[in-house]
A and B are shown apart, each in its own frame.
Chain A
Amino acid sequence: MKKAKVFRPTAFAFPYLAVTLVFVIVPLILVTVYAFRGQDGSFTFENFKYVFTEAAYRNSLFKTVGIAALATLLCLLVAYPVAYVLASAPFNKMAVLALLFVIPMWMNFVLRIVALKSVFTAIGLKPSFLTGVLGLVYDFLPYMLLPIYTVLSNMDKSYIEASRDLGASDFSTFWKVTFPLSFPGIISGISMVFMPIFSAYAVTGLLADPGTTVIGRGIEILFGLREYGAGSALSFILLLLVFLVMFLSSLLSKRTNKTAKGGNRQ
């Protein structure tokens, strides 16, 4: 029998593959090459040594981890209750309400940060560590809110009913059922906020004091000084961090999936 010719236009992906190769893969290779390349063109760790011995860059790197962790935690503390309320009755019937929380996301973030800046000026808050962190929370809140809200509103409500029927209080139902089931949302929220803060130097640049900045600014300064080696070394460190965060979050979501499905806790 004649085999029907199957239509498989895989070649359609080739232009994009070429674009990805030239404009995504090659740049990453360049970052890696410049990071390990000395002035004379030989392989070296000098660039890494430089960014770790120069106090300004080393401190900025560690401070960024702290700022990102703090801002992510604050985002979570604000976003979780909001997402929880929005997903609960009677609020889950009001689609407009959830929309109100994400509309600002569609407005240019520099303009929103400038608006926040003028409010801080009006109430007499001077640029500081606090205003910088508040600005980051203001900017990234929707990115934490959306994944948690999605998970909570798609959650199978029968788990909660079962917990209630079996006599658990509201609190222990939340703590032992709802909260663990919402882990995937929390994890994806954290990964949408934590790493992007490393690049968000526009926010700290507009709102915080000069001492409070994220490492993205340090990288920008190094490239501005034509210190491509040191700048690439810092970029390479961020690249490793991105991989680490991705690895951890995939590990965590695998584990929570297991416990959610099998319930095989000790």
Chain B
Amino acid sequence: MKNKTLLSLVIRWAILVIVLIAIYLPIALIVVYSFSEVRDLGGEYGSFSFNLYTKLFKNKELMQATANTLIIGLTSAFLATVLGTVSAIGIHYMTKMRKTVDTASQITVVNAEIVTAMGFYLLFIFMRDVLKISFNLGLGWLILAHTVITTPYVILSVSPRLKQLNPNLLEASMDLGASPMRSLITVMLPQLAGAMISGFALAFTLSLDDFVVTSINGGNTYTISTFVYNHIRRSGVLPEVRALSTIIFLVVLIVMIVVNVIKNRKLKSENK
């Protein structure tokens, strides 16, 4: 009996470890080879150096793409958080229209991304050719598109929290003479802060990760995703991408660790 449970434990560990290795092996190799200047992985390592990192910071196109990624990500996540929170509050108080609005807000979430991307592109064509509103594809259009795509996720993250709120608090505030607007800002908004932050984080990562919408609506504006994709398709490899991947992976890792430490502390202090 004991042998059987031990065997099952070993098998279960093995499943986890094998899949973890498959997931992390490519990333680990990239990190290791980011300190080597060789063109391809696997062969000779050459000497340890930070050359790829200096090359990365000197690569103007890649730096521009990184800057674009951050500008689009931060701006659209900020706009999506404001728009999403405000409309989540509005939707929360709706009665008849609610179902329609909920469905409408989920269209871009369930739709195939390529169709969403082409929809934006056709809107651009339509505005240019039929409505004669002329503008260029690029940063502004991408910020707009990313805001539209990520707002539903902010709503999805804020709405459940709104349902948990105690409505008496808001009423108490208004009974005590605060205007509805003031009650919303000083009583409701602070209680939504957590959900807004996770909505912002979700919107930001979705924007950073986006490829299809950005590729089709970017014109000559490239983000990390589209620049790296196009460069590798054209010329095979770009060694300094290894340095960029390493930096991004480390940032993700640190953020995840910090977030979890804070979460655990909160849980512990709540349990006390």
A203 to chain B minimum Cβ distance, whole angstroms, is 9
Q: Which A246-265 residues have C-beta < 8 A from chain B?
A: 246
In the complex, identify which listed stretch (A4-12, A161-169, A174-182) lies at the interface while the others stay far away: A4-12
Partner pick for B114 among A106, A111, A238, CB 8 A cutoff: A238
Which label, helix, strand, loop or mixed, suits the secondary structure of the B interface? Answer: helix
A216 to B180, CA, bound (A): 48
Tell me the residues in window 91-136 of chain A with beta carbons closer than 8 Å to chain B beta carbons: 91, 95-97, 99-101, 103-104, 106-112, 114-119, 121-123
| CB of A242 within 8 Å of the partner chain | yes
Q: Are B29 and A118 in contact (CB under 8 A)?
A: yes
Partner of B12, one of A11, A91, A115, A235: A91
With most chain A CB atoms within 10 A of its CB, the pick from B111, B126, B244 is B111
Q: A148–B146 Cα gap in the complex (Å)?
A: 28
Chain A nearest CB, measured from B254 CB (Å): 11
Task: Tell me the dominant secondary structure on chain A's binding face.
Answer: helix
B interface, size bucket: 35 or more
A38 within 8 A of B: no
Is B212 a contact of A216 with CB atoms below 8 Å? yes
A16 to chain B: which residues have CB within 8 Å?
83-84, 86-87, 90, 105, 151, 155
Chain A residues whose CB sits within 8 angstroms of the CB of B114 once the complex forms: 198-199, 201, 215-216, 219-220, 235, 238
Interface size on A, as a range, is 35 or more
Cβ–Cβ contact A15 & B16, under 8 A: no
Cβ of B137 within 8 Å of any chain A Cβ, yes or no, is: no
Q: Count of A-B contacts with CB under 8 A?
A: 236
* Cα–Cα, bound, A1→B15 (Å): 69
Bound Cα distance from A228 to B118, whole angstroms: 9
Interface digits, B1-33 against A, CB 8 Å rule (1 contact, 0 not)?
Answer: 000000000001001100110111111011001
Apart from A10-B97, A20-B105, A108-B209, list 4 A-B contacts with CB within 8 A.
A12-B89, A111-B224, A198-B112, A228-B125
Chain A residues with CB under 8 Å of chain B are 7-17, 19-20, 23-28, 30-31, 34, 78, 81-82, 85-86, 88, 91, 95-97, 99-101, 103-104, 106-112, 114-119, 121-123, 138, 141, 195-196, 198-199, 201-202, 205-206, 215-216, 219-220, 223, 228, 231-232, 235, 238-239, 241-242, 246
Q: Jot down 25 A-B pairs with beta carbons below 8 A, ordered by A.
A: A10-B97, A12-B90, A15-B83, A16-B84, A16-B155, A17-B87, A23-B123, A24-B104, A26-B123, A27-B118, A27-B123, A28-B115, A34-B122, A78-B19, A82-B16, A100-B20, A103-B256, A108-B225, A115-B29, A141-B23, A196-B113, A199-B114, A206-B233, A216-B113, A235-B114
